[in-house]
Amino acid sequence: MFSTITSGIVSRLTWQKRNHSSATLHSLKDSIAMIEFSPEGTILNANALFLERMGYTLDEIEGQHHSLFCTPDLIQSPHYRDFWQRLNRGESFSAKFLRVAKHSRPVWLEANYVPVQDRSGRVFKIVKLANDITEHIVDAQEQRAMTTAIERSMAVVAFNLKGEVLKANANFLKTMGYRSDEISGLHHSTFCSEEVRNSQEYRTFWQKLNRGEFISGQFPRVNKQGQTIWLRATYNPVFDDHGKLYKVVKFATDVTAQVEKITRSVRLPSRRIKPRCKPVKAQNSVPM
């Protein structure tokens, strides 16, 4: 949506190139964060939305350089010098940028840098139109960190709605004894015993998943070598942006050792408790 809005804005700025009028930007000031720079990067003006996002007043930033909003590493990089050289040649940029607000607060901006040219084609200012996407970026980073942690510690496998394997991580492959190329396209029933595969409970299991129901528990499964593996697992239906179910992701932990330990302890016969002392023989009573 932001790119659609800015494409219309760029069209207005193209008209401005011919008319040198700031009136074309007036209607934008209440709807989008905007700042203007000289070709050298000096701040000329900024609207209230931009100032609010960055935590400054206009008096604090007017006359300062664009680098005020950048990290030290970026400022010293060839990429940053090239960025301004290209803007001065009339090239525009549209991307996600990490910037620094007041008090060193990181801010992610989805922004368009638009060079504005006079009739001779000379760039006389740069207009930046921005949208604060910090919350979305942070959420995405947290999700990636969480996903990475899960990938490292758990066996993860994804199935389509038919029950066929789409993808499995290294932990799942190791647990079940397969290679990645062996497992793709296999049905979930491959990991089940014949008794489980042919049961009504198993058919109901997939019917529930296809209705979007979450399932968790401890499940006996069969690895490539035909050995029984016990998994504590959750089966998580996944929906797209339109609410349509399109896959099931399984997160599992191998608990075979714990299950086998419990099973052995139950099967062990109870041991007799031997008396520590020898029984005392009964003696005849002595008459008084």
Q: What is the pLDDT of residues 47-94, one digit of tens each?
A: 999 999 999 999 999 999 999 999 988 999 999 999 999 999 999 999
**Is there a single domain that holds both residue 157 and residue 248?**
yes
**Cβ partners under 8 Å of residue 271, min gap 6:** none
**Is there a single domain that holds both residue 14 and residue 124?**
yes
**Is there a single domain that holds both residue 181 and residue 58?**
no
**Is there a single domain that holds both residue 126 and residue 161?**
no
**Is there a single domain that holds both residue 11 and residue 120?**
yes
Side chain identity at residue 217, one-letter code: G
**Enclosing domain of residue 52:** 2-136
**Is there a single domain that holds both residue 94 and residue 182?**
no
The string of pLDDT tens digits covering residues 244-266 is 999 999 999 999 999 988 888 87
Residue 283 falls within a domain, yes or no? no
Identify the CA nearest to 207 among candidates 158, 246, 163: 163
Q: What's the pLDDT band for 22 if we cut at 50, 70, 90?
A: low
Q: Which residue is listed with tokens 């296999």?
A: 186
Please tell me the predicted confidence (pLDDT) of residue 150.
83
**Is there a single domain that holds both residue 7 and residue 114?**
yes
**Is there a single domain that holds both residue 100 and residue 162?**
no
201-to-196, 236, 255, 256 alpha-carbon distances in Å: 8, 18, 22, 22
Q: What's the pLDDT band for 238 if we cut at 50, 70, 90?
A: very high
Residue 276 falls within a domain, yes or no? no
Please tell me the predicted confidence (pLDDT) of residue 47.
95
CATH number for the domain that contains residue 261: 3.30.450.20
When divided into structural domains, the chain yields a total of 2
279 vs 139, more confident: 139
Q: Above 90 in pLDDT, residue 17?
A: no
DSSP 79-121: HHHHHHHHHHTT--EEEEEEEE-GGG-EEEEEEEEEEEE-TTS
| CB contact at 8 A, 69 and 101 | yes
